[in-house]
Amino acid sequence: MSRVFSLILLTIAGVVSAAPAQAETLTFNVALDGKYGSGPTGSAATGMAQITVDTERRTISLDLTVDGITPDALWDKLVAAPIGPVHLHKYATAAGGDSVLVVPFPFGPEYKATGNGMRLTAKDRDYAAGAALLRSGLSFEDFVAAMRGGLIVLNIHTDAFN
């Protein structure tokens, strides 16, 4: 699998809010650019994302804003594919290594053009359904541990950086 990304995860910091019993809502704030990571692209695009994981409902939400990439610049091959041009990968180490596709964000009406780029707001995506679509064997618990460990990368694939 190619590890050329239009945007590379710069930082991922988790903030945990306790909910009843063992359930948690985990919030990860992400700064994105093309300068860092295991496969920097040099893309001038920048972005911010908030990824929310509901451990009770086992859902993932994404609120992504990108400057420098519009929806029409997204990689056509993945726009037409069920995984979508934006998705999450789990890497073997923080420096890279083998990756597993774990959460898809299929292209659709949630992808909106903005004045300088695009915004994607995907609410309450069922982890099990996404993992089944991708044939991922990564359990939800392992996904959460990987998020906490900084091993999950948010990828945005474009025609220029597919």
pLDDT tens column, 92-124: 877 777 888 889 999 999 999 999 999 999 999
Distance CA 126, CA 133 (A): 11
Mean pLDDT of the chain: 84
Within a domain: 127? yes
φ and ψ at residue 115, rounded to 5 degrees:
-60, -35
How many folded domains does the chain comprise?
1
Residue 1 lies in a domain: no
pLDDT at 36: 67
Specify if 162 maps to a domain: no
Encode the chain (162 residues) as per-residue pLDDT tens digits: 333 333 333 333 333 443 344 789 999 998 998 876 667 778 889 999 999 999 999 999 999 999 999 999 999 999 999 999 999 989 887 777 788 888 999 999 999 999 999 999 999 999 999 999 988 889 999 999 999 998 998 989 999 888
pLDDT value at position 46? 93
pLDDT at 6: 33
- Asked if residues 131 and 81 have their Cβ atoms less than 8 Å apart, the reply is no
- Give residue 113's domain range: 8-156
Task: Specify if 161 maps to a domain.
Answer: no
112 exposed, middle or buried (CB, 10 Å; 0-12, 13-18, 19+)? exposed
Rounded to whole angstroms, how far apart are CA atoms 46 and 52?
Answer: 20
- Does residue 3 lie within any of the structural domains? no
